Chain A
Amino acid sequence: MTGDHQTLALLLFSAFVAVTLGITTWVSRNRHGSAEEFYAGGRLFSPMENGFAVAGDYASAASFLGVPGLIALFGYDGVLYVVGFLVAWLVVLFLVAELVRNCGRFTLADVVAARMSERPVRIAAGTSSVTVSVLYLVAQMVGAGSLVALLLGRTGGGAQAWTVVGVGALMVIYVSLGGMRATTWIQIVKAVLMMGGTVVLTVLVLVRFHGDLDRLLLTAAERSGHGDAFLVPGLKYGGDLTASLDFISLGLALVLGTAGLPHILSRFYTVPTARAARRSAIWSIGLIGGFYLMAIVLGFGAAAIVGPDALRESNAAGNTAVPLLALDLGGGAGSTAGTVLFAVVAAVAFATILAVVAGITLSSSASVAHDLYASLRRRGARQRSEVAVARVAAAGIGVLAIALGLLARDLNVAFLVGLAFAVAASANLPVLLYSLFWRGFTTRGAVWAVYGGLIPALVLVVLSPVVSGSPDSLFPGVDFQLFPLQNPGIVSVPLGFLAGWLGTVTSTELPDEAKHAETEVRSLTGAGAV
């Protein structure tokens, strides 16, 4: 893959960078840099704007490139994978979006700390939020590096390293200068581009098959070489009991983890009311659901039109399925339409990564400044403005993400996204639900719920086959594998809930009735919400 389409892709991507930098400068003029402005963008986004931004924040390159690739290579199992990402939104909508908007100010820890002894709870919830964000961020950074290699045909380590550095630098600029307002607009631009590109490709696939989905599926199954098995679960996640359990564990982590992702929670603070938060969640369910439905069509389309052999040759994991499909739909390599479509898809993929890393960096800088720094600062130390700390934290997280992204760039880190969801589901969700719904929940319960989910999730991953003991693991040479599953969710999520309950029933502290009343009244009515 060399030639015009790569030059055009670079041009389009530079245009995106220029536009987003323009947005950042424009929104950061005449701002006083209040915390309200930096973390929540002034809280005056409309539900539709925020709905697009949420969709932009949620659909990473793993969704845009990975899901169609997975379907193109493994058929139905890709559909199985994607369903969890959508169903998770109901948990967000029902249990989290409105209540968190009403109770909190900037972070997840705000909701919990309102009822509890503030310092230990903030440190615990801040630590787990930063952990989730860093895991997710490293996966995105490594993804960005390999994406460049794939799309621009430059497999040299230099291009990959410079991409990681460039993406990191851009995200620090967006976040430190523009705060939430710039980040939100970047998400919106990206979501519109991504939806637009996906709609065009889907229509082209459907036109190719004259709208006959049945024929699309049959052709895909035939060309895949698997026949009918292509349209049935089992090619990737099936097999023995361990493989089944592993997938169930991943599914659980996806469905419960979304409601605990810090960068998703902080998006609900950018709208004025709980009702607006609900409506933005509805918008994002519509957008994400529509996007995934089209991604399924693109996946089967790539299997039917490009064929699995060409896909495997380009990238073993199938990540180039959408760009190759675009090239073919436009008329093949060398044609103008094919060149343009390929370039558009590549630029959208870059935009996706940039927007997602900006969102995660912002929310983790909020956790560092608002939760960790505010709690760990020595009493009597000179008080700095929290926003200034957050800006520095964003730069620090950027440097950390670049470093980890460079270190891990040759490793297979696809499991990190699943792990981020598993940690969010085990460490963040139990404490959040208990604080919102359980009258008797105490400080010790809250702290135990966080660490009781966080530590098992991380330890189980270290002991799992993704780290050691198998040819595909991070350290293939050594073997300290004790836990058979790649995703810890099925064990660590129940442990998080159990630890929260255990901490509460063993604590001598009496639950504060008045604080609980305040949380409950505020969460359901919005009284006193900022």
Chain B
Amino acid sequence: MRYRDPWYDALAAGWGEGDGTAVPSAPVPAARREGRAGPAGGAAAEVYLEVQRSAAFQEVRSRYRRFVVPAVAVLLVWYVAYVVTATTAPALMARPVAGAVNVAMLAGLGQFLSTFLLAWAYARHARLRRDRAALELRWDTQELTRGVRGGAS
């Protein structure tokens, strides 16, 4: 059976990765403090609490939220504004721009365009600013939980 390694896939696949044009994200401190083993004898729950408190995780989480919260706000406001204007102010939407193209057509195309742009921006942000740090955290967390449970899980 062919076996596709998801870990390999997680890092190696993807467009434009490491093509030299991308700005590498600032290094993120490790979740595991060096020279200290995991919480010996503690429960797996402790591990997740410890990782959650770690600077590395806080950084990944805030990078995610700093992108997603404004982006969701912008897209909802822009979409609701579009729908409300279209249904309540058709006169404004009917204003001609060029030929048969009017404000309504431009606004509709704008929605398509902004969707494509935001999706591209999100994918790029996640790829460059989050993926590597998240994968390291994943490894570290799994190492720690394995240590707690005693043996390979």
Q: Please indicate the chain B residues that have their CB under 8 angstroms from the CB of A272 in the complex.
A: 4, 6, 9-10
The interface size bin for chain A is 35 or more
Judge whether B86 is part of the interface by a CB distance below 8 angstroms: yes
Q: How far is the CB of B87 from chain A (nearest CB, A)?
A: 4
Asked if A521 contacts B57 (CB within 8 A), the reply is: yes
Interface core residue of A47, A252, A528 (most chain B CB under 10 Å): A528
Q: Please indicate the chain B residues that have their CB under 8 angstroms from the CB of A518 in the complex.
A: 45, 48
Q: Please indicate the chain B residues that have their CB under 8 angstroms from the CB of A248 in the complex.
A: 80, 83-84, 87
Q: Per DSSP, are chain A's interface residues mostly helix, strand or loop, or mixed?
A: helix
Q: How far is the CB of A38 from chain B (nearest CB, A)?
A: 18
Q: How far is the CB of A295 from chain B (nearest CB, A)?
A: 12
Judge whether A336 is part of the interface by a CB distance below 8 angstroms: no
Judge whether B134 is part of the interface by a CB distance below 8 angstroms: yes
Q: Which stretch (A52-60, A279-287, A321-329, A414-422) binds chain B?
A: A279-287
* Number of interface residues, chain B, beta carbon within 8 A: 57
Judge whether A462 is part of the interface by a CB distance below 8 angstroms: no
Asked if B57 contacts A525 (CB within 8 A), the reply is: yes
Complex Cα–Cα for A215 and B105 (A): 14
Asked if B52 contacts A517 (CB within 8 A), the reply is: yes
Asked if A527 contacts B49 (CB within 8 A), the reply is: no
- Scan B1-17; emit 1 where CB is below 8 A from any A CB, else 0: 00010100110011000
Complex Cα–Cα for A214 and B10 (A): 45
Complex Cα–Cα for A221 and B86 (A): 18
Q: How far is the CB of A438 from chain B (nearest CB, A)?
A: 13
Q: How far is the CB of B54 from chain A (nearest CB, A)?
A: 9
Judge whether B88 is part of the interface by a CB distance below 8 angstroms: yes
Asked if A93 contacts B122 (CB within 8 A), the reply is: yes
**Which residue in chain B gives the minimum CB-CB distance to A520?**
B52
Asked if A87 contacts B71 (CB within 8 A), the reply is: no
- Scan A494-530; emit 1 where CB is below 8 A from any B CB, else 0: 0000000000000000000111011011101111100
Asked if A237 contacts B87 (CB within 8 A), the reply is: yes
Asked if B137 contacts A527 (CB within 8 A), the reply is: yes
Given contacts A94-B68, A244-B87, contact A289 B79 (CB under 8 A): no
Complex Cα–Cα for A214 and B101 (A): 7
Q: How far is the CB of B1 from chain A (nearest CB, A)?
A: 10
Interface residues of A in 194-246 (CB under 8 A from B): 214-215, 217-218, 221, 228-229, 231-234, 237-238, 243-244
Complex Cα–Cα for A125 and B104 (A): 39
Q: How far is the CB of A463 from chain B (nearest CB, A)?
A: 23
Interface residues of A in 69-121 (CB under 8 A from B): 76, 79-80, 83-84, 86-87, 89-91, 93-95, 98
Complex Cα–Cα for A527 and B137 (A): 8
Q: Please indicate the chain A residues that have their CB under 8 angstroms from the CB of B80 in the complex.
A: 248, 251-252
Q: How far is the CB of B116 from chain A (nearest CB, A)?
A: 6
Judge whether A293 is part of the interface by a CB distance below 8 angstroms: yes
Q: Please indicate the chain A residues that have their CB under 8 angstroms from the CB of B135 in the complex.
A: 525-526
Asked if A521 contacts B64 (CB within 8 A), the reply is: no
Interface core residue of A44, A95, A218, A518 (most chain B CB under 10 Å): A518
Q: Please indicate the chain B residues that have their CB under 8 angstroms from the CB of A221 in the complex.
A: 100
- Scan A368-386; emit 1 where CB is below 8 A from any B CB, else 0: 0000000000000000000
Asked if B141 contacts A528 (CB within 8 A), the reply is: yes
**Which residue in chain B gives the minimum CB-CB distance to A241?**
B88
Judge whether A50 is part of the interface by a CB distance below 8 angstroms: no
Asked if B9 contacts A87 (CB within 8 A), the reply is: no
Asked if A91 contacts B72 (CB within 8 A), the reply is: yes
Asked if A95 contacts B72 (CB within 8 A), the reply is: yes
Asked if B57 contacts A282 (CB within 8 A), the reply is: no
Asked if A89 contacts B115 (CB within 8 A), the reply is: yes
**Which residue in chain B gives the minimum CB-CB distance to A515?**
B45
Asked if A278 contacts B123 (CB within 8 A), the reply is: yes
**Which residue in chain B gives the minimum CB-CB distance to A234?**
B90
Q: Please indicate the chain A residues that have their CB under 8 angstroms from the CB of B51 in the complex.
A: 517, 521, 525, 527
- Please list 10 pairs of residues, one from A and one from B, whose beta carbons are closer than 8 Å in the complex, sorted by A's number: A95-B72, A221-B100, A232-B94, A232-B104, A234-B90, A238-B87, A251-B79, A279-B123, A518-B45, A524-B137
Extra A-B contacts (4), CB below 8 Å, given A90-B115, A520-B61: A83-B82, A289-B116, A524-B57, A527-B142
B interface residues with partner A (beta carbon < 8 Å): 4, 6, 9-10, 13-14, 45-46, 48-49, 51-52, 57, 60-61, 64, 68, 71-72, 75-76, 79-80, 82-84, 86-88, 90, 93-94, 99-102, 104-105, 108, 111-112, 115-116, 118-120, 122-123, 126, 131, 134-135, 137-138, 141-142, 145
A interface residues with partner B (beta carbon < 8 Å): 44, 47, 76, 79-80, 83-84, 86-87, 89-91, 93-95, 98, 214-215, 217-218, 221, 228-229, 231-234, 237-238, 243-244, 247-248, 251-252, 255, 272-273, 275-276, 278-279, 281-282, 285-286, 289, 292-293, 513-515, 517-518, 520-522, 524-528
Q: Which 4 A-B pairs have the closest CB atoms?
A: A272-B6, A527-B141, A514-B45, A217-B100
